[in-house]
Copies of this chain bind each other. A is one copy, B any other.
């Protein structure tokens, strides 16, 4: 399949990132188009078709197309069941419409699943059999590769790592519950922890305060940069998030006994400030065999469109290709 290419789309609430991707995961060509959710899914599909006509006119011959979308995706039927950022798109038969218009095999998948699959192919060249991926962005999601294949569960909802509980009663989560991993390791949870510490300790966090004078707009990148420059309060925020992340990951290791854990997404760019407390905590578990096996790695956060393209290509190859 390495000679073939595939189209991957990462559909966000504002922009959609598109790429023509080789079987190796290399991006051959890319573009960005506005999603405009308010115009509805049919108009969106029209804009995608227009972009792809242009690519085809200049010689692109994709073998498949994959869409990654944030939300509750029914990948079998190829539609969205629910998506907070794409209201009104629920139930639209994306897979069927695109497959017919393009005459190509199409795949619709949850964006976290797509990103994890992309990172699995691109980052882990030896393709271990069992990999858990956790996407750390505004929210926290996840995807599972079991026996070398994306595992989506009974309704396509598997991998909702961000809403597993790591504290009781715990902080409020965007989902309405308390104590979810996302409430600590998602970017809004990190910002909340940082603002709370800064308010409680007016003498500390000088570097962080200088980097981000308006604390209302605090982002993980400010916390990473402050930690890198030696800000102890910022490092404490990362340590706190890392410890909660480790609780969630330890539960995953005990249940799934993976070969590797991949951390993806913007928050994972914090690198060692996040990774060290995670590795520390995982090294102190009672059950050695599964914890000794599971390697924790950061993956470059490129994933969604590449993963969607590769999932589609995998489907095409299983169907005998085109």
Contacts and interface: CB of A to CB of B under 8 A. Distances in A.
Interface in A67-90: 72, 81-82
A261 to B, nearest CB: 11
Interface string A151-186: 111111111110111111000000111000000000
Contacts of A165: 166, 247, 250-251
Given A285-B177, A286-B163, A153 B251 contact: no
Contacts of A299: none
Contact of A290 (B157, B161, B252): B157
B255 A160 contact: yes
A160 B254 contact: yes
A257 B177 contact: no
A293 interface: yes
* Interface range on chain A (Cβ under 8 Å from partner): 35 or more
A275 B254 CA distance: 24
Given A157-B289, A250-B165, A255 B257 contact: no
Contacts of A294: 154
Nearest to A81: B289
Contact of A168 (B72, B153, B161, B167): B167
Contacts of A97: none
Given A164-B254, A247-B165, A286-B175, A129 B154 contact: yes
Contacts of A72: 287, 289
A128 interface: yes
A255 B158 contact: yes
A257 to B, nearest CB: 3
B290 A254 contact: no
Interface string A117-149: 000000000001110000000000010101100
Interface string A235-279: 000000000000100111011111100000000000000000000
A164 B165 CA distance: 10
A139 B32 CA distance: 53
Contact of A258 (B128, B153, B167): B153
A160 B159 CA distance: 17
Contacts of A155: 257, 289-290, 293
A48 B82 CA distance: 56
Nearest to A247: B165
A285 B157 CA distance: 14
Contact of A257 (B81, B156, B167): B156
Interface of A: 72, 81-82, 128-130, 142, 144, 146-147, 151-161, 163-168, 175-177, 247, 250-252, 254-259, 285-287, 289-290, 293-294
25 contacts: A142-B255, A146-B151, A152-B257, A153-B256, A154-B259, A155-B293, A157-B287, A157-B289, A157-B290, A157-B293, A158-B255, A158-B290, A160-B254, A160-B287, A160-B290, A161-B254, A161-B255, A163-B286, A165-B166, A165-B247, A165-B251, A167-B168, A168-B168, A177-B285, A251-B251
